[in-house]
Amino acid sequence: MEPQNTIICRCEDLTLAEVEEVIAEGYTTIEEIKRICRLGMGPCRGSTCLQLIDRILARQRNCGREEIKMPTNRPPLEGIKMKELAGDAGEK
Amino acid sequence: MPVKNKANVVIIGGGVVGLAVAYNLALLGIKDVVLLERAYLGSGATSRCGAGIRQQWGTEMNCALARKSMDIFENMNEMLEVKRDIELKQKGYLLLAFSEEEMEQFRKNLKVQSKYDIPSREVTPRKARDIVPHLNLEGIVGGAFCPTDGHVNPFLVTEAYANAARRLGVDIYTYTEALDIEISGSKITGVRTDQGLIKTDRVVNAAGGYSQQIGEMVGLDLPVKSERHEILVTEKIEPLQGPMVMSFSYNIYCQQTPEGPFLMGYGDPDEPESYNLNSSWHFLEEMTRKAARLLPPLKHLRVIRQWAGLYNITPDRQPIIAESEEVPGFFMAIGFSGHGFMIAPMTGVLLAEMIAGEDPSLEFKLEPGRFERGDLILEPSVV
């Protein structure tokens, strides 16, 4: 697996090489990494990349995955169209 | 990581304001500047804000700070030698009036703005729709537009200031909490952290939504309160909306960021004073109703995330940028009332000059004594 050809976050089109570079700069928590390179901030809400980034960090730190803190899980659980939330106002 | 045991200045708070102060202090040649952040940089209000930068204010001070800060944002990539572009987008802010009284207030504000070379102007409803074609004009009597207002990325501005400050020798300690400020007589002698004591006689309170807690450490009851403000973001789409669309009476702000998502929020008039950062279902419903009515095509977008941050609010919606009279050496850059990010660059310059004892590059008076005297000039333009 070539790091520059391995996609970690599909929504934001981020490769393993790019993510590793951000970690090498000193961003070592998922909260920081997502703010710098937008990992996990796309419409799938991190359903793939969050399952990979903790492994990457655990491998680097030589620890278990359970020791890597997950970022705050923000609502809604999946994308909802505004008109569905807005009710009548969204239909006019 | 254990902290240094001595510093010239200790800054409490690693948001954009604290980092801008740190950078400017180092730029003025002040050595041994230490910044404390209890989580990661920008983890408080900075990263939670709406990412808008606006110069259309109603008070002289807010106009002056915002105008000068815009100059700095426009040159920030070069000035701070950034690793990542700060994503400045200057497509304007379109402010909408829903009554003649509101329009009259805009006209007053425009006069103040023109004194500070802010290129804002009045627009008719039709002109407003030329600027934002998908705008629903129902109820709109006019507006104001400033083409150089816009957007920058708060995460990357934070990083830019942090990296530039570090290069100039500032020691930034993340995951390090200020627990107390030690005082002897009325003089500051040190800051006690969870990683050890730092001796210093000067402290900067840049703690954003928690600034009143830092005030308590030196025995001050600061005239600020914190309040939750919620926000949401949608999926990305192709460029549709140039400017931020904003209204104080209709109570909304909504912009499309350069990457493509829409960011929007409003201020809940019933929001109590608190440190609550939870998201609410009420906000989702009310926000999407407001947006769907004013900007109808947005109703087809999916909301992908919502969150909240704290406004640190003063009675006149203008910040406190001053040294305490009661506790010399206790400097404050607090109470930004929801617009700290956009005026942080100039705040950093002015507070650093004050600490270094230099002449200010802008005449200003934002001391807390104004609240006791009651000579307030209320900022009328806050969502």
Is residue B74 one of the residues assigned to a domain? no
Residue A89 reports pLDDT greater than 70:
no
Domain match, B160 and B298 both: no
Domain match, B321 and B283 both: no
Last residue of a domain, one of B289, B313, B337: B313
Domain match, B321 and B352 both: yes
DSSP state of B273: B
Asked if B302 and A75 come within 8 Å (Cβ–Cβ), the reply is no
Domain match, B197 and B346 both: yes
- The residue in chain B having the minimum alpha-carbon distance to the alpha carbon of residue A42 is B235
Total number of domains constituting chain A = 1
For residue B225, give Cα distances in angstroms to B62, B215, B263, B312: 19, 12, 25, 6
Peptide bond into A76 cis (omega under 30): yes
Q: Which amino acid is at B70?
A: M
CATH number (domain holding residue B323): 3.50.50.60
Q: What does the alpha-carbon distance between residue B106 and residue B317 come to, in Å, rounded to a whole number?
A: 17
- Specify the 3-state DSSP secondary structure of B151: strand
> Chain-centre distance of CA B139, in angstroms?
30
Is residue B67 one of the residues assigned to a domain? no
The Cα of A62 is separated from the nearest Cα of chain B by a number of Å equal to 20
Domain match, B144 and B171 both: no
Asked if A76 and B303 come within 8 Å (Cβ–Cβ), the reply is yes
Is residue B364 one of the residues assigned to a domain? yes
Q: What tens digit of pLDDT does each residue of A57-85 get?
A: 999 999 999 999 999 999 998 999 999 99
| A26 close to B (CB below 8 A) | no
Domain match, B244 and B277 both: yes
Which residues of chain B are at the A interface, by a Cβ-Cβ cutoff of 8 Å? 40-43, 47, 83-84, 155-156, 159, 234-236, 259, 279, 284-285, 288-289, 291-293, 296, 298-307
Give chain B's residues under pLDDT 70: none
Contacts of A74 in chain B (CB under 8 A): 279, 305-307
Is residue B53 one of the residues assigned to a domain? no
Are the CB atoms for B166 and B65 separated by under 8 Å?
A: no
Q: Which amino acid is at B133?
A: P
The per-residue pLDDT for B23 is: 98
Domain match, B21 and B34 both: yes
Q: Please report the ipTM that was assigned to this predicted complex.
A: 0.93
Domain hosting residue A55, numbered range: 3-90
Total number of domains constituting chain B = 2
CATH number (domain holding residue A40): 1.10.10.1100
Is residue B20 one of the residues assigned to a domain? yes
Q: Average pLDDT in the A7-14 region? A: 95
Give the pair of three-digit tokens for residue A24: 């090498």
Domain match, B332 and B300 both: no
Q: Where are the alpha helices (DSSP H) in A27-72?
A: 30-37, 49-61
Is residue B33 one of the residues assigned to a domain? yes
Domain match, B269 and B359 both: no
Of B275, B341, B292, residue with least CA distance to B65? B341
Q: pLDDT band for position A90 (50/70/90)?
A: low
Give the pair of three-digit tokens for residue A16: 């393993």
Q: pLDDT band for position A88 (50/70/90)?
A: confident
Contacts of A90 in chain B (CB under 8 A): 288-289, 292, 299
Domain match, B130 and B99 both: yes
The per-residue pLDDT for A91 is: 58
List of residues 6+ apart from B371 with CB closer than 8 A = B223, B314, B315, B316
Are the CB atoms for A72 and A35 separated by under 8 Å?
A: no
Domain hosting residue B99, numbered range: 91-150+225-313
**Best mutation target, A12, A27, A85, to test chain B (most B CBs within 10 A):** A85
Are the CB atoms for B141 and B99 separated by under 8 Å?
A: yes
CATH number (domain holding residue B142): 3.30.9.10
B357: left (phi over 0), alpha (psi -120 to 50) or beta: left
